[in-house]
A = this chain, B = another copy of it.
């Protein structure tokens, strides 16, 4: 079993820019988070352009799909913004690849106190190795099939349709 972790940005990887006081993207936190997990599973980190998921276009989702297709790994975790996680999951789900693909992200950036990022990464790395082939969203310690999930923006949680 090998594991591929694909970074695409989202809240998980937002970074505070102290010069202008905004949250944006710099280096991914995934290398640090992965080292911190002490994972001994054979894992590869693939870093795609880091985007706010509200800025993701069709071409960006196609690139995520291409990365999955090109990967020999049966287990894939995708770190993604929460706002359009469902849309990317739908693109991947429609492709019906013979891999277990789990999208996750965070409600609070990895570098901010009280973040769920590391929990979610662990959760996704676990279920990606155990679930049958398919595309899933893993948030709030739950696994959702790609075609039955939505973000409840008012509550800040994921739920079924």
Contacts of A36 in B (CB 8 A): 114-116, 119
**Number of copies of this protein chain within its complex:** 4
* B123 lies within 8 A of A125 (CB): yes
On chain B, the residues within 8 Å of A129 by CB distance are: 127, 142-143
Q: Which residues of B contact A45 (CB under 8 A)?
A: none
When distances are taken between beta carbons in the complex, the residues of chain B under 8 Å from A140 are 37-41
Whether A111 is near chain B, meaning CB under 8 Å from some CB there, is yes
How many chain A residues sit at the interface, stated as a range, is 35 or more
Q: Say how far A30's CB is from chain B's closest CB, in angstroms.
A: 12
A-B contact list, 25 entries, CB within 8 Å: A14-B21, A16-B23, A19-B153, A21-B23, A36-B116, A36-B119, A37-B119, A38-B140, A40-B140, A40-B157, A41-B140, A41-B141, A41-B142, A111-B112, A111-B114, A118-B119, A119-B119, A122-B123, A122-B124, A122-B141, A124-B126, A125-B126, A127-B129, A130-B130, A130-B131
Q: Which A residues lie at the B interface, using CB under 8 A?
A: 3, 11, 14, 16, 18-19, 21, 23, 33, 36-41, 43, 107-109, 111-116, 118-127, 129-131, 138-143, 153-154, 156-159
